[in-house]
């Protein structure tokens, strides 16, 4: 028996989205981003599905994610995009993972370990064009580009950067970053350095600045899971939600008017309303701030979450009709009912990434066709 609260992962929708993204990418290679448990959908299972669909690369944040995929029998090329810890370099080589190199110092560390083991390390040089996190500053790119020409144990597979706001309706800063990126590429060209995989486009850039940003490879993440990175982008590509979060009613009652509900007594029953309890809470990753703000679907009706969200339960104002075992849709699509994830995000001032990645392992993932 499975817990009534579950996240259903629609693999047919995943395949549809991958096809839509591949069409948008034209002839560019695809790096499917599967970090953070494939945005909460399940790292190994989703990575295997995407590999079967023909993704050219998988993108993760940490060494441990890459190792987990290798141990799961996935041999698609994998780039670890997070910061490099020098004590881990040997494991990158052991498990055949591409390394992000973001400074001269890091490049020399990787060279030393690769030389020690008489092998070559596959690296992607990362440059900061305005995100402000990992990456050699774009205006000092020559320092890193010149340094790697003297390191024979590095195989220069890729050169990349990351956009800070490519999902925004205002693309001025994204265009500025792209100009900075072109400056780095021009510098590499002058030094006669060749990189088979130049990449910068995330889902937002792929949808809004396709021709300018797709280069040799693109890095879709959220779009693969059926959610546009901005609500204004939904019309630019046909996506299907991969995750549906659902549960069912486990208790109903009709308390008298004025009865408080939930921790802190932040809501009181107006009377003559069925109040239903649903077994999901912030312990499952359903946001606590959804209390008195979010909406769920019950019998095709939109019903408000009332009272504060508890660790294990929420309560909803079910109106005039509610029964034990009734299905409750928290977001996603089931039958003729659909409650977009963006609706929950708008209600609580969140982003889709936060909700999807925040679902805990206590919520079972059920894979369906």
pLDDT one-digit tens code per residue, 268-297: 999 889 999 999 999 999 999 999 999 999
Q: Which of 29, 35, 106, 333 is the catalytic position? A: 35
* pLDDT tens-place string over residues 63-117: 999 999 999 999 999 999 999 999 999 999 999 999 999 999 999 999 999 999 9
State how far the Cα of 191 lies from the Cα of 147, in Å rounded to an integer: 11
User: So what's the pLDDT on residue 272?
Assistant: 87
Stretch(es) of the chain classified as CATH 2.40.37.10: 243-368
| Identified catalytic residue from 182, 251, 263, 323 | 263
- In angstroms, the CA 55 to CA 38 distance is 14
11-228 folds as TIM Barrel (3.20.20)
Residue linked to tokens 């020098």:
86
pLDDT in tens, 306-329: 999 999 999 999 998 899 999 999
Q: What is the pLDDT of residue 337?
A: 86
CB atoms within 10 A of CB 143: 11
The residue-averaged pLDDT of 235-261 equals: 96
Which of 58, 146, 173, 79 lies closest to 181, judged by CA? 173
pTM: 0.95
Instruction: Specify the CATH number of the domain 243-368.
Output: 2.40.37.10
Q: What's the mean pLDDT in 133-162?
A: 98
Active site residue 263: yes
- What's the pLDDT at 1? 64
Average pLDDT score over residue span 168-183 = 98
| Percent over 90 (pLDDT), the chain | 97
Ordered DSSP codes for 337-353: EEE-HHHHHHHHT--HH
Q: Say how many Å lie between the first and final Cα of the chain, rounded.
A: 20
Residues of the chain with CATH 3.20.20.10: 11-228
**CB 2 within 8 Å of CB 366:** yes
Counting residues of the chain whose pLDDT is more than 70, the rounded percentage is 100
Distance CA 147, CA 158 (A): 16
Q: Mapped to the 3 state alphabet, what secondary structure does 257-275 carry? A: CCCEECHHHCEECCCCCEE
Average pLDDT over residues 203-225: 97
Mean pLDDT (the chain, rounded) = 97
With contact defined as beta carbons under 8 Å apart, do 98 and 158 qualify?
yes
């Amino acid at each position: 028996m499975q817990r009534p609260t579950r996240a259903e992962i629609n693999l047919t929708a995943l395949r549809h989205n991958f096809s839509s993204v591949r069409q948008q990418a034209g002839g560019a290679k695809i790096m499917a981003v599967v970090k953070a448990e494939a945005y909460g959908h399940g790292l190994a299972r989703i990575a295997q599905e995407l590999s079967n669909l023909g993704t050219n690369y998988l993108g993760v944040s940490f060494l441990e994610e890459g190792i987990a995929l290798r141990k799961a029998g996935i041999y698609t090329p994998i780039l670890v995009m997070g910061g490099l810890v020098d004590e881990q370099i040997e494991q990158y080589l052991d498990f055949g993972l591409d390394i992000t190199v973001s400074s001269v110092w890091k490049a020399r560390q990787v060279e030393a370990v690769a030389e020690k083991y008489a092998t070559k390390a596959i690296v992607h040089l990362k440059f900061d064009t305005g995100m402000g996190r990992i990456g050699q500053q774009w205006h000092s790119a020559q320092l890193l580009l010149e340094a790697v020409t003297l390191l024979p144990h590095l195989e220069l597979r890729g050169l990349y950067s990351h956009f800070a706001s490519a999902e925004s309706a205002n693309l001025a800063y994204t265009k500025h970053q792209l100009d900075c990126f072109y400056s780095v590429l021009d510098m590499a060209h002058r030094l006669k350095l060749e990189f088979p995989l130049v990449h910068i486009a995330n889902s937002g850039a792929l949808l809004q600045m396709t021709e300018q940003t797709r280069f040799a490879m693109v890095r879709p993440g959220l779009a693969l899971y059926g959610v546009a990175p901005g609500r204004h982008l939904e019309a630019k590509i046909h996506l299907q939600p991969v995750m549906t979060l659902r549960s069912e009613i486990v208790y109903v009652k009709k308390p008298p008017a004025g009865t408080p509900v939930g921790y802190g007594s932040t809501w009181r029953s107006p009377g003559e309303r069925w109040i239903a309890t649903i077994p999901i809470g912030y312990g499952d990753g359903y946001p606590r701030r959804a209390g008195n703000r979010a909406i769920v679907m019950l019998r095709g009706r939109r019903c408000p979450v009332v009272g504060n969200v508890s660790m294990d339960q929420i309560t909803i104002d079910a109106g005039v009709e509610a029964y034990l075992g009734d299905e409750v849709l928290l977001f996603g699509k089931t039958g003729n009912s659909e409650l977009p994830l963006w609706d929950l995000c708008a209600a609580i001032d969140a982003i889709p990434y936060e909700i999807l990645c925040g679902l805990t392992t206590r919520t079972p993932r059920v894979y369906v066709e």
